[in-house]
């Protein structure tokens, strides 16, 4: 990690807690029938989730950081906090500029065409209409959806939608770009082009955080990795070292579970 570089993201003792409302009776026909007969709403259970626990880190210009960990480890919550979409329960997040969470899916509209979504997405990222027009064909070509561009986005496959979202977001330079699972969809050729674009973005003195199912991609594009487990950073360092440790831990826990199951 290059401490001689300029910090772009500083996370200081970050905690994120939220509550999830679970319907206790809605999961069974009997529970639904009891509610109907009694005229009372189903009882609810409120579960408290501590998604991120005391996380501190600093990211620098030129860093491409892969976040790894099991589902529910806090990776996405951390990214959403860096993007300003989740308020910290305690602690602080400082960014040198507004972080962009890929894609601009919150702004895109599945009922309108891909072409109109390029306009909508570009404007949502703060681009002028002139800038949007200048990048339009670049987005269409990168996403490889020329023949579908005037069709409603809702008719696209999930892979096509992911390609369009990535292409819109990548058409603009970002000081801080956050990529959450988007690259797990799409074909091999598009993933290769996306990886090249991520390297280009980070090489232009940007900072990129990547969450992806495929560790091969993280090994390829990231110069640093962070392993999270149950909301805590377990390891932060050189990509291959972190991934090797994480994969060894996963394998050890899997072997222990199999041995336990065999002993039953």
CATH of residue 186: 3.40.50.300
Distance CA 116, CA 122 (A): 10
Rounded Cα distance, 72 and 22, in Å: 17
Q: Is the pLDDT assigned to residue 27 strictly greater than 70? A: no
How far apart CA 225 and CA 47 sit, in angstroms, is: 31
* pLDDT per position as a tens digit, 47-92: 889 999 999 999 999 899 999 999 899 999 999 999 999 999 999 9
Which of 173, 202, 219 terminates a domain? The answer is: 173
User: Which helix (H) or strand (E) is 22 found in, with range?
Assistant: strand 7-23
Q: Helix (H, G, I), strand (E, B), or coil: what is residue 104? A: coil
pLDDT at residue 139, rounded to an integer: 95
- Cα separation, 56 vs 233, whole angstroms: 8
Q: Name the residue range of residue 167's domain.
A: 105-173
Q: What is the count of structural domains for the chain? A: 2
Per-residue pLDDT at 196 exceeds 90: no
Tell me the average pLDDT of the chain. Answer: 86
For residues 200 and 169, state if they share a domain: no
Last residue of a domain, one of 153, 173, 193: 173
Of the candidates 173, 193, 210, which is a domain's last residue? Answer: 173
Query: Is residue 2 included in any domain, yes or no?
Result: no
**Domain assignment present for 229:** yes
- pLDDT tens, residue by residue, 235-258: 999 999 999 999 999 999 999 988
**Two tokens, residue 152:** 């409603």
**147 and 93 within one domain:** no
């Amino acid at each position: 990690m290059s401490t001689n570089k300029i910090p772009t993201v500083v996370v200081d003792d970050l905690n994120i807690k939220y509550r999830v409302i679970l319907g206790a009776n809605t999961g069974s026909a009997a529970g639904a029938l009891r509610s109907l007969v009694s005229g009372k709403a189903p009882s609810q259970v409120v579960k408290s989730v501590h998604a991120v626990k005391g996380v501190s880190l600093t990211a620098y210009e030129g860093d491409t950081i892969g976040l790894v960990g099991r589902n529910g480890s806090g990776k996405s919550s951390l990214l959403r906090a860096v993007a300003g979409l989740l308020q910290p329960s305690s602690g602080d997040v400082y960014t040198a500029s507004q972080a962009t969470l890929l894609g601009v899916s919150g702004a895109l509209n599945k009922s309108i065409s891909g072409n109109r979504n390029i306009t909508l997405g570009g404007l949502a990222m703060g681009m002028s209409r002139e800038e949007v027009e200048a990048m339009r064909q670049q987005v269409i070509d990168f996403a490889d959806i020329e023949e579908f561009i005037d069709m409603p986005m809702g008719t696209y496959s999930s892979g096509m939608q992911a390609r369009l979202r990535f292409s819109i977001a990548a058409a603009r330079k970002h000081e801080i770009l956050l990529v959450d699972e988007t690259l797990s969809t799409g074909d091999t050729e598009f993933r290769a082009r996306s990886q090249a674009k991520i390297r280009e973005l980070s090489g232009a003195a940007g900072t990129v955080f990547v969450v992806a199912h495929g560790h091969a991609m993280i090994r390829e594009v990231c110069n640093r990795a962070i392993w999270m487990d149950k909301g805590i950073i377990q390891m932060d360092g050189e990509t291959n070292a972190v991934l090797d440790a994480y994969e060894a831990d996963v394998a050890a826990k899997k072997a222990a579970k199999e041995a336990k199951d065999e002993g039953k």
